[in-house]
Amino acid sequence: MASTDQDRWSRVKGRLRAEVGDDVYSSWFARMDLEAIEDDTVRLSVPTRFLKSWIQSHYAEKVLACWQAEEPKILRVELTVRSAVLRTAVVKPKAPDLADHRDGNAARLGNGDSRNMLIGDAGGHEALGGSPLDPRLTFESFVVGRSNTLAHAAAKQVVAAKRGDPVMFNPLYIHAGVGLGKTHLLQATTWAGNAVGERKVLYLTAEKFMYGFVSALRTQTALAFKEALRGIGVLVIDDLQFLQGKSTQAEFCHTLNALIDAGRQVVIASDRPPSDLESLDDRVRSRLAGGLVVEMGSLGEELRFEILKSRVMAARAHHPGFDVPLPVLTYIAKTVTHNGRDLEGALNRLLAHNKLTGHPVTLEMAEREVRDLIRPQEPKRVKIEDIQRVVARQYNVSRSDLLSSRRTANVVRPRQVAMYLAKTLTLRSLPEIGRRFGGRDHTTVLHAVRKIEGLVGNDNVLAEEIEILKRQLQD
Protein backbone atom coordinates (compact mmCIF):
# COMPACT_ATOMS: atom_id res chain seq x y z
CA MET A 1 0.00 0.00 0.00
CA ALA A 2 1.31 3.43 -0.86
CA SER A 3 2.80 5.18 2.11
CA THR A 4 0.74 8.25 1.26
CA ASP A 5 -2.33 6.18 2.08
CA GLN A 6 -0.80 5.39 5.44
CA ASP A 7 -0.10 9.09 5.95
CA ARG A 8 -3.70 9.88 5.19
CA TRP A 9 -4.79 7.18 7.57
CA SER A 10 -2.66 8.54 10.36
CA ARG A 11 -4.15 11.99 9.84
CA VAL A 12 -7.63 10.48 9.96
CA LYS A 13 -6.68 8.71 13.19
CA GLY A 14 -5.49 12.03 14.58
CA ARG A 15 -8.85 13.55 13.77
CA LEU A 16 -10.69 10.65 15.34
CA ARG A 17 -8.62 10.87 18.48
CA ALA A 18 -9.30 14.59 18.71
CA GLU A 19 -13.03 14.02 18.21
CA VAL A 20 -13.61 11.22 20.66
CA GLY A 21 -10.85 11.85 23.20
CA ASP A 22 -7.90 9.67 24.19
CA ASP A 23 -9.81 7.20 26.31
CA VAL A 24 -12.47 6.33 23.80
CA TYR A 25 -9.88 6.31 21.06
CA SER A 26 -7.61 3.84 22.77
CA SER A 27 -10.51 1.60 23.78
CA TRP A 28 -12.03 1.26 20.33
CA PHE A 29 -9.73 2.51 17.62
CA ALA A 30 -6.17 1.74 18.67
CA ARG A 31 -6.26 -1.61 16.89
CA MET A 32 -8.01 -0.47 13.75
CA ASP A 33 -5.85 -0.84 10.62
CA LEU A 34 -6.12 0.49 7.12
CA GLU A 35 -6.37 -2.37 4.63
CA ALA A 36 -6.97 -0.52 1.38
CA ILE A 37 -8.39 2.54 -0.31
CA GLU A 38 -10.26 1.66 -3.48
CA ASP A 39 -12.00 4.42 -5.40
CA ASP A 40 -14.60 5.85 -3.04
CA THR A 41 -14.28 3.08 -0.46
CA VAL A 42 -11.94 2.75 2.47
CA ARG A 43 -11.43 -0.68 3.93
CA LEU A 44 -10.51 -0.85 7.60
CA SER A 45 -10.04 -3.86 9.79
CA VAL A 46 -10.25 -4.64 13.48
CA PRO A 47 -9.19 -7.81 15.30
CA THR A 48 -12.52 -8.91 16.72
CA ARG A 49 -16.16 -9.16 15.72
CA PHE A 50 -17.09 -7.38 18.86
CA LEU A 51 -15.01 -4.31 18.01
CA LYS A 52 -16.49 -4.34 14.55
CA SER A 53 -20.09 -4.34 15.71
CA TRP A 54 -19.42 -1.79 18.40
CA ILE A 55 -17.70 0.62 16.04
CA GLN A 56 -20.38 0.11 13.42
CA SER A 57 -23.20 0.85 15.77
CA HIS A 58 -21.59 3.73 17.62
CA TYR A 59 -18.97 5.36 15.49
CA ALA A 60 -19.66 4.58 11.83
CA GLU A 61 -20.62 8.11 10.93
CA LYS A 62 -17.77 9.65 12.82
CA VAL A 63 -15.23 7.46 11.10
CA LEU A 64 -16.68 8.29 7.70
CA ALA A 65 -16.78 12.01 8.50
CA CYS A 66 -13.12 11.97 9.55
CA TRP A 67 -12.21 10.31 6.28
CA GLN A 68 -14.23 12.76 4.26
CA ALA A 69 -12.58 15.67 6.02
CA GLU A 70 -9.27 14.30 4.77
CA GLU A 71 -10.43 12.92 1.42
CA PRO A 72 -13.78 14.24 0.13
CA LYS A 73 -14.10 11.55 -2.53
CA ILE A 74 -14.58 8.83 0.10
CA LEU A 75 -18.19 7.75 0.31
CA ARG A 76 -18.01 4.46 2.15
CA VAL A 77 -16.09 2.91 4.97
CA GLU A 78 -16.08 -0.85 5.09
CA LEU A 79 -15.13 -2.58 8.31
CA THR A 80 -13.90 -6.15 8.42
CA VAL A 81 -12.57 -8.52 11.02
CA ARG A 82 -8.89 -9.04 10.42
CA SER A 83 -8.72 -12.83 10.15
CA ALA A 84 -11.48 -12.76 7.55
CA VAL A 85 -9.56 -10.19 5.53
CA LEU A 86 -6.54 -12.41 5.54
CA ARG A 87 -8.49 -15.43 4.45
CA THR A 88 -10.04 -13.64 1.51
CA ALA A 89 -6.65 -12.20 0.63
CA VAL A 90 -5.25 -15.70 0.48
CA VAL A 91 -7.85 -17.06 -1.91
CA LYS A 92 -8.10 -13.92 -4.01
CA PRO A 93 -5.79 -14.44 -6.99
CA LYS A 94 -5.73 -10.69 -7.59
CA ALA A 95 -3.31 -10.01 -4.78
CA PRO A 96 -0.90 -12.92 -4.60
CA ASP A 97 1.91 -10.77 -3.23
CA LEU A 98 -0.03 -9.51 -0.34
CA ALA A 99 -1.42 -12.90 0.49
CA ASP A 100 1.93 -14.61 0.29
CA HIS A 101 3.82 -12.21 2.28
CA ARG A 102 1.31 -11.56 4.97
CA ASP A 103 0.56 -15.18 5.37
CA GLY A 104 4.21 -16.17 5.35
CA ASN A 105 5.12 -13.63 7.95
CA ALA A 106 2.19 -14.46 10.01
CA ALA A 107 2.99 -18.08 10.28
CA ARG A 108 6.60 -17.58 11.10
CA LEU A 109 7.26 -14.32 12.74
CA GLY A 110 4.11 -13.99 14.70
CA ASN A 111 2.11 -11.33 12.99
CA GLY A 112 -0.57 -10.36 15.51
CA ASP A 113 -3.06 -9.94 12.69
CA SER A 114 -3.23 -13.59 11.99
CA ARG A 115 -3.83 -14.96 15.41
CA ASN A 116 -7.20 -16.32 14.56
CA MET A 117 -5.75 -18.31 11.73
CA LEU A 118 -3.34 -20.21 13.85
CA ILE A 119 -5.46 -21.70 16.43
CA GLY A 120 -4.01 -24.13 18.83
CA ASP A 121 -5.93 -25.92 21.48
CA ALA A 122 -4.80 -26.89 24.91
CA GLY A 123 -6.60 -30.03 25.97
CA GLY A 124 -9.98 -29.21 24.50
CA HIS A 125 -9.77 -25.63 25.73
CA GLU A 126 -12.08 -24.43 22.98
CA ALA A 127 -14.51 -27.25 23.46
CA LEU A 128 -14.94 -25.87 26.96
CA GLY A 129 -16.00 -22.55 25.49
CA GLY A 130 -12.62 -20.85 25.78
CA SER A 131 -11.32 -18.28 23.30
CA PRO A 132 -8.77 -19.44 20.69
CA LEU A 133 -5.17 -19.57 21.86
CA ASP A 134 -2.13 -18.64 19.82
CA PRO A 135 0.50 -21.40 20.06
CA ARG A 136 3.32 -18.84 19.88
CA LEU A 137 2.29 -17.02 23.02
CA THR A 138 4.03 -19.14 25.63
CA PHE A 139 6.35 -18.57 28.58
CA GLU A 140 9.24 -19.76 26.41
CA SER A 141 8.77 -16.84 24.03
CA PHE A 142 7.99 -14.30 26.75
CA VAL A 143 11.02 -12.16 27.55
CA VAL A 144 11.28 -10.98 31.14
CA GLY A 145 12.58 -7.50 31.89
CA ARG A 146 12.30 -4.80 34.50
CA SER A 147 8.81 -3.71 33.48
CA ASN A 148 7.17 -7.12 33.64
CA THR A 149 9.09 -9.10 36.27
CA LEU A 150 6.35 -8.97 38.87
CA ALA A 151 3.52 -9.78 36.48
CA HIS A 152 5.54 -12.67 35.08
CA ALA A 153 6.31 -14.04 38.54
CA ALA A 154 2.67 -13.79 39.57
CA ALA A 155 1.55 -15.63 36.44
CA LYS A 156 4.13 -18.37 37.05
CA GLN A 157 2.86 -18.70 40.58
CA VAL A 158 -0.68 -19.22 39.28
CA VAL A 159 0.59 -22.03 37.08
CA ALA A 160 2.55 -23.67 39.88
CA ALA A 161 -0.27 -23.63 42.42
CA LYS A 162 -2.02 -26.92 43.03
CA ARG A 163 -5.64 -27.70 43.47
CA GLY A 164 -6.64 -27.04 47.06
CA ASP A 165 -3.62 -24.80 47.78
CA PRO A 166 -4.60 -21.60 49.54
CA VAL A 167 -4.90 -18.90 46.87
CA MET A 168 -2.23 -16.27 47.42
CA PHE A 169 -3.89 -13.40 45.59
CA ASN A 170 -7.28 -13.30 44.01
CA PRO A 171 -7.92 -11.98 41.51
CA LEU A 172 -4.56 -11.38 39.88
CA TYR A 173 -5.18 -8.20 37.93
CA ILE A 174 -2.62 -7.15 35.31
CA HIS A 175 -2.88 -3.85 33.53
CA ALA A 176 -0.79 -2.22 30.81
CA GLY A 177 -1.15 -0.20 27.63
CA VAL A 178 -1.69 -1.70 24.19
CA GLY A 179 0.97 -4.08 22.93
CA LEU A 180 2.88 -4.47 26.19
CA GLY A 181 2.36 -8.21 26.54
CA LYS A 182 -0.88 -8.76 28.49
CA THR A 183 -2.39 -11.23 26.06
CA HIS A 184 0.95 -12.95 25.65
CA LEU A 185 1.28 -13.47 29.39
CA LEU A 186 -2.31 -14.59 29.87
CA GLN A 187 -2.16 -17.11 27.06
CA ALA A 188 1.20 -18.39 28.30
CA THR A 189 -0.44 -18.94 31.67
CA THR A 190 -3.27 -20.84 30.02
CA TRP A 191 -1.00 -23.06 27.94
CA ALA A 192 1.29 -23.84 30.84
CA GLY A 193 -1.52 -24.34 33.33
CA ASN A 194 -3.30 -26.80 31.09
CA ALA A 195 -0.06 -28.61 30.30
CA VAL A 196 0.49 -29.19 34.01
CA GLY A 197 -3.07 -30.40 34.12
CA GLU A 198 -3.54 -29.76 37.83
CA ARG A 199 -6.26 -27.19 37.35
CA LYS A 200 -8.27 -26.54 34.23
CA VAL A 201 -7.49 -23.06 32.93
CA LEU A 202 -10.13 -21.29 30.87
CA TYR A 203 -9.09 -18.26 28.82
CA LEU A 204 -11.82 -15.90 27.69
CA THR A 205 -11.75 -12.50 26.09
CA ALA A 206 -14.27 -10.10 27.60
CA GLU A 207 -16.13 -10.42 24.32
CA LYS A 208 -16.36 -14.17 24.65
CA PHE A 209 -17.31 -13.82 28.26
CA MET A 210 -20.21 -11.59 27.27
CA TYR A 211 -21.50 -13.46 24.25
CA GLY A 212 -20.68 -17.03 25.12
CA PHE A 213 -20.13 -17.70 28.75
CA VAL A 214 -22.72 -15.38 30.21
CA SER A 215 -25.47 -16.36 27.83
CA ALA A 216 -24.75 -20.02 28.47
CA LEU A 217 -25.02 -19.34 32.16
CA ARG A 218 -28.34 -17.59 31.73
CA THR A 219 -29.94 -20.64 30.26
CA GLN A 220 -28.88 -22.77 33.19
CA THR A 221 -30.21 -23.13 36.65
CA ALA A 222 -28.30 -21.88 39.65
CA LEU A 223 -27.32 -25.45 40.41
CA ALA A 224 -26.06 -26.11 36.90
CA PHE A 225 -24.11 -22.89 37.07
CA LYS A 226 -22.32 -24.03 40.21
CA GLU A 227 -21.67 -27.34 38.56
CA ALA A 228 -20.15 -25.66 35.50
CA LEU A 229 -17.89 -23.53 37.62
CA ARG A 230 -16.68 -26.52 39.54
CA GLY A 231 -14.84 -27.67 36.45
CA ILE A 232 -12.81 -24.49 36.18
CA GLY A 233 -9.64 -24.17 38.25
CA VAL A 234 -8.46 -20.87 36.84
CA LEU A 235 -10.55 -18.37 34.92
CA VAL A 236 -8.56 -15.96 32.76
CA ILE A 237 -10.29 -12.92 31.29
CA ASP A 238 -8.51 -10.71 28.77
CA ASP A 239 -9.32 -7.08 27.91
CA LEU A 240 -11.74 -6.54 30.73
CA GLN A 241 -12.14 -2.89 29.70
CA PHE A 242 -14.48 -4.14 26.96
CA LEU A 243 -16.98 -5.57 29.39
CA GLN A 244 -20.14 -3.58 28.82
CA GLY A 245 -23.69 -3.47 30.03
CA LYS A 246 -25.38 -3.65 33.39
CA SER A 247 -26.62 -7.22 33.22
CA THR A 248 -23.30 -8.53 31.93
CA GLN A 249 -21.62 -6.81 34.83
CA ALA A 250 -23.99 -8.38 37.25
CA GLU A 251 -23.17 -11.82 35.79
CA PHE A 252 -19.50 -11.01 35.91
CA CYS A 253 -19.73 -9.98 39.53
CA HIS A 254 -21.67 -13.14 40.32
CA THR A 255 -19.09 -15.34 38.56
CA LEU A 256 -16.19 -13.55 40.19
CA ASN A 257 -17.65 -13.93 43.65
CA ALA A 258 -18.60 -17.55 43.12
CA LEU A 259 -15.13 -18.47 41.90
CA ILE A 260 -13.23 -16.54 44.50
CA ASP A 261 -15.40 -17.85 47.29
CA ALA A 262 -14.82 -21.39 46.05
CA GLY A 263 -11.06 -20.81 46.15
CA ARG A 264 -10.62 -20.76 42.38
CA GLN A 265 -8.06 -18.45 40.84
CA VAL A 266 -9.17 -15.55 38.65
CA VAL A 267 -6.69 -13.75 36.39
CA ILE A 268 -7.64 -10.55 34.60
CA ALA A 269 -5.95 -8.22 32.14
CA SER A 270 -7.07 -4.76 31.23
CA ASP A 271 -5.63 -1.62 29.73
CA ARG A 272 -6.28 0.35 32.91
CA PRO A 273 -6.30 -0.13 36.69
CA PRO A 274 -9.55 -1.18 38.39
CA SER A 275 -10.16 2.34 39.67
CA ASP A 276 -10.34 3.59 36.07
CA LEU A 277 -12.92 1.07 34.88
CA GLU A 278 -15.54 3.76 34.96
CA SER A 279 -18.46 1.72 33.76
CA LEU A 280 -18.11 -0.90 36.49
CA ASP A 281 -19.92 -0.43 39.74
CA ASP A 282 -18.10 0.14 43.00
CA ARG A 283 -18.58 -3.34 44.37
CA VAL A 284 -16.96 -4.98 41.36
CA ARG A 285 -14.16 -2.45 41.32
CA SER A 286 -13.29 -3.00 44.92
CA ARG A 287 -13.40 -6.75 44.48
CA LEU A 288 -10.99 -6.41 41.57
CA ALA A 289 -8.69 -4.14 43.51
CA GLY A 290 -8.76 -6.53 46.47
CA GLY A 291 -6.38 -9.07 44.96
CA LEU A 292 -2.98 -8.35 43.48
CA VAL A 293 -2.93 -5.46 41.01
CA VAL A 294 0.20 -5.36 38.87
CA GLU A 295 1.08 -2.86 36.21
CA MET A 296 3.36 -3.76 33.32
CA GLY A 297 5.27 -0.68 32.26
CA SER A 298 6.41 0.23 28.79
CA LEU A 299 9.06 -2.02 27.28
CA GLY A 300 12.46 -0.53 28.03
CA GLU A 301 15.10 -0.38 25.33
CA GLU A 302 16.90 -3.40 26.72
CA LEU A 303 13.73 -5.48 26.79
CA ARG A 304 12.85 -4.37 23.27
CA PHE A 305 16.27 -5.50 22.15
CA GLU A 306 15.85 -8.92 23.79
CA ILE A 307 12.40 -9.37 22.28
CA LEU A 308 13.75 -8.56 18.83
CA LYS A 309 16.62 -10.94 19.29
CA SER A 310 14.36 -13.81 20.26
CA ARG A 311 12.03 -13.03 17.36
CA VAL A 312 14.89 -13.16 14.90
CA MET A 313 15.94 -16.51 16.31
CA ALA A 314 12.40 -17.80 15.89
CA ALA A 315 12.21 -16.51 12.33
CA ARG A 316 15.50 -18.13 11.44
CA ALA A 317 14.06 -21.53 12.19
CA HIS A 318 11.96 -21.10 9.05
CA HIS A 319 14.14 -18.71 7.08
CA PRO A 320 17.71 -19.87 7.61
CA GLY A 321 19.05 -17.10 5.33
CA PHE A 322 17.43 -14.36 7.37
CA ASP A 323 20.05 -12.44 9.27
CA VAL A 324 19.67 -9.17 11.11
CA PRO A 325 23.01 -7.60 12.05
CA LEU A 326 23.39 -6.37 15.61
CA PRO A 327 23.54 -2.67 14.73
CA VAL A 328 20.16 -3.04 13.03
CA LEU A 329 18.63 -4.66 16.10
CA THR A 330 20.07 -1.91 18.27
CA TYR A 331 18.72 0.70 15.93
CA ILE A 332 15.19 -0.76 15.91
CA ALA A 333 15.19 -1.22 19.67
CA LYS A 334 16.15 2.44 20.01
CA THR A 335 13.74 3.93 17.52
CA VAL A 336 10.67 1.72 17.55
CA THR A 337 9.61 2.55 21.04
CA HIS A 338 5.91 2.25 20.98
CA ASN A 339 5.03 -1.33 21.86
CA GLY A 340 5.50 -5.00 21.10
CA ARG A 341 3.24 -4.90 18.10
CA ASP A 342 5.35 -2.29 16.37
CA LEU A 343 8.51 -4.29 17.05
CA GLU A 344 6.87 -7.24 15.41
CA GLY A 345 5.78 -5.06 12.49
CA ALA A 346 9.29 -3.68 12.05
CA LEU A 347 10.82 -7.14 11.89
CA ASN A 348 8.12 -8.32 9.51
CA ARG A 349 9.06 -5.48 7.23
CA LEU A 350 12.68 -6.51 7.21
CA LEU A 351 11.84 -10.14 6.61
CA ALA A 352 9.42 -9.32 3.81
CA HIS A 353 11.94 -7.01 2.19
CA ASN A 354 14.67 -9.58 2.49
CA LYS A 355 12.49 -12.34 1.07
CA LEU A 356 10.98 -10.35 -1.76
CA THR A 357 14.13 -8.61 -3.00
CA GLY A 358 16.80 -11.03 -1.85
CA HIS A 359 18.80 -8.08 -0.50
CA PRO A 360 20.46 -8.59 2.86
CA VAL A 361 19.24 -6.59 5.83
CA THR A 362 21.41 -3.53 6.32
CA LEU A 363 21.18 -0.54 8.57
CA GLU A 364 20.33 1.63 5.61
CA MET A 365 17.49 -0.63 4.55
CA ALA A 366 16.21 -0.81 8.11
CA GLU A 367 16.23 2.96 8.45
CA ARG A 368 14.13 3.25 5.34
CA GLU A 369 11.72 0.46 6.25
CA VAL A 370 11.29 1.41 9.87
CA ARG A 371 10.88 5.10 9.19
CA ASP A 372 8.13 4.27 6.79
CA LEU A 373 6.48 2.07 9.36
CA ILE A 374 6.61 4.22 12.44
CA ARG A 375 6.67 7.82 11.31
CA PRO A 376 2.93 8.04 10.68
CA GLN A 377 2.17 6.67 14.12
CA GLU A 378 0.97 9.03 16.77
CA PRO A 379 3.61 11.42 18.08
CA LYS A 380 4.56 11.28 21.73
CA ARG A 381 1.41 11.91 23.69
CA VAL A 382 1.59 14.88 25.95
CA LYS A 383 -0.96 14.87 28.74
CA ILE A 384 -2.85 17.95 29.80
CA GLU A 385 -2.02 17.18 33.44
CA ASP A 386 1.67 17.27 32.57
CA ILE A 387 1.28 20.60 30.82
CA GLN A 388 -0.47 22.03 33.85
CA ARG A 389 2.15 20.65 36.20
CA VAL A 390 5.13 21.91 34.20
CA VAL A 391 3.63 25.34 33.56
CA ALA A 392 2.63 25.75 37.20
CA ARG A 393 6.17 24.91 38.28
CA GLN A 394 7.74 27.26 35.76
CA TYR A 395 5.60 30.24 36.84
CA ASN A 396 5.54 29.34 40.48
CA VAL A 397 1.79 29.05 40.84
CA SER A 398 -0.21 26.01 41.86
CA ARG A 399 -2.11 23.75 39.51
CA SER A 400 -5.35 24.66 41.23
CA ASP A 401 -4.56 28.33 40.53
CA LEU A 402 -4.51 27.45 36.85
CA LEU A 403 -7.89 25.78 37.09
CA SER A 404 -9.41 28.42 39.36
CA SER A 405 -11.44 31.43 38.27
CA ARG A 406 -8.87 33.88 39.69
CA ARG A 407 -8.06 36.65 37.28
CA THR A 408 -4.92 38.21 38.70
CA ALA A 409 -2.19 38.77 36.15
CA ASN A 410 0.24 36.30 37.72
CA VAL A 411 -2.27 33.51 37.12
CA VAL A 412 -3.91 34.65 33.89
CA ARG A 413 -0.76 34.52 31.77
CA PRO A 414 0.42 31.07 32.89
CA ARG A 415 -3.11 29.77 32.39
CA GLN A 416 -3.12 31.12 28.83
CA VAL A 417 0.28 29.60 28.16
CA ALA A 418 -0.93 26.24 29.44
CA MET A 419 -4.05 26.32 27.26
CA TYR A 420 -1.94 27.33 24.29
CA LEU A 421 0.37 24.37 24.88
CA ALA A 422 -2.61 22.05 25.32
CA LYS A 423 -3.91 23.13 21.93
CA THR A 424 -0.56 22.87 20.15
CA LEU A 425 0.87 19.74 21.77
CA THR A 426 -2.22 17.56 22.05
CA LEU A 427 -5.06 16.65 19.73
CA ARG A 428 -7.66 17.67 22.28
CA SER A 429 -10.49 19.86 21.04
CA LEU A 430 -11.09 23.37 22.37
CA PRO A 431 -14.18 22.38 24.39
CA GLU A 432 -12.29 19.46 25.89
CA ILE A 433 -9.39 21.72 26.88
CA GLY A 434 -11.87 24.16 28.38
CA ARG A 435 -13.35 21.36 30.44
CA ARG A 436 -9.94 20.32 31.70
CA PHE A 437 -9.16 23.88 32.74
CA GLY A 438 -11.82 24.17 35.40
CA GLY A 439 -14.83 23.97 33.09
CA ARG A 440 -14.12 26.97 30.87
CA ASP A 441 -15.88 27.75 27.64
CA HIS A 442 -14.16 26.87 24.36
CA THR A 443 -14.14 30.55 23.34
CA THR A 444 -12.00 31.30 26.38
CA VAL A 445 -9.52 28.68 25.22
CA LEU A 446 -9.54 30.07 21.70
CA HIS A 447 -8.93 33.55 23.07
CA ALA A 448 -5.96 32.30 25.10
CA VAL A 449 -4.47 30.48 22.11
CA ARG A 450 -4.75 33.55 19.87
CA LYS A 451 -3.40 35.80 22.60
CA ILE A 452 -0.25 33.75 23.08
CA GLU A 453 0.21 33.25 19.33
CA GLY A 454 0.09 37.01 18.97
CA LEU A 455 2.53 37.63 21.79
CA VAL A 456 5.26 35.15 20.88
CA GLY A 457 5.83 37.04 17.63
CA ASN A 458 7.04 40.12 19.52
CA ASP A 459 8.00 38.95 22.95
CA ASN A 460 11.30 37.06 22.85
CA VAL A 461 11.30 36.25 26.51
CA LEU A 462 7.90 34.60 26.29
CA ALA A 463 8.85 32.79 23.08
CA GLU A 464 11.92 31.42 24.83
CA GLU A 465 9.89 30.34 27.88
CA ILE A 466 7.47 28.49 25.66
CA GLU A 467 10.28 26.75 23.83
CA ILE A 468 11.70 25.53 27.13
CA LEU A 469 8.30 24.31 28.27
CA LYS A 470 7.78 22.46 25.01
CA ARG A 471 11.13 20.77 25.29
CA GLN A 472 10.43 19.67 28.86
CA LEU A 473 7.13 18.19 27.79
CA GLN A 474 8.31 16.47 24.67
CA ASP A 475 11.34 14.59 25.80
Residue ranges in contact with ligand ADP by CB under 6 A:
110, 112, 137, 141-143, 148, 176, 178-184, 307, 340-341, 344
| Shortest Å distance, C-beta 289 to ligand ADP | 20
Nearer of residues 178 and 258 to Mg ion, judged by Cβ? 178
Q: Which does 344 bind (CB under 5 to 8 A by kind): Mg ion, ligand ADP, none?
A: ligand ADP
- For ligand ADP, give the closer residue by CB, 143 or 236: 143
111: partner contacted, choices ligand ADP, Mg ion, none (Cβ within 5-8 A by kind):
none
Of 15 and 208, the one with the shorter C-beta distance to ligand ADP is 208
Helix (H, G, I), strand (E, B) or coil at 173: strand
- In whole angstroms, give the CA distance from residue 118 to residue 84: 13
Query: 267 with 234: CB under 8 angstroms?
Result: yes
Between 181 and 274, CB nearer to ligand ADP:
181
Of the pair 114, 183, the CB lying nearest Mg ion is at 183
- Nearest approach, Cβ of residue 334 and ligand ADP (Å): 17
- Taking each helix axis from N to C end, the angle separating 384-395 and 460-474, rounded to the nearest 10 degrees, works out to 130
184 binds, among ligand ADP, Mg ion, none (CB under 5 to 8 A by kind): ligand ADP
CA angle 365, 31, 323 (to 5 degrees): 25
Give the span between the Cα atoms of 148 and 153, in whole angstroms: 9
Nearer to Mg ion, 65 or 118 (CB): 118
Contact range with Mg ion by CB under 5 A, out of 87-95, 180-188, 273-281, 416-424? 180-188
147 lies in the binding site for Mg ion (CB under 5 A): no
Q: What is the DSSP letter of 210?
A: I
179 binds, among Mg ion, ligand ADP, none (CB under 5 to 8 A by kind): ligand ADP
CA-to-CA distance for 228 and 247, rounded, in angstroms?
20
d(CA 433, CA 414): 15
Q: Is 183 in the site for Mg ion (CB under 5 A)?
A: yes
Report whether 394 contacts 469 (CB < 8 A).
Answer: yes
Q: Residues near 388 by Cβ (< 8 Å), separated by ≥ 6? A: 399, 402, 403, 418
Q: Is 241 in the site for Mg ion (CB under 5 A)?
A: no
Residue 457 phi, psi (nearest 5): -60, -35
Residues that bind Mg ion (CB under 5 A): 182-183
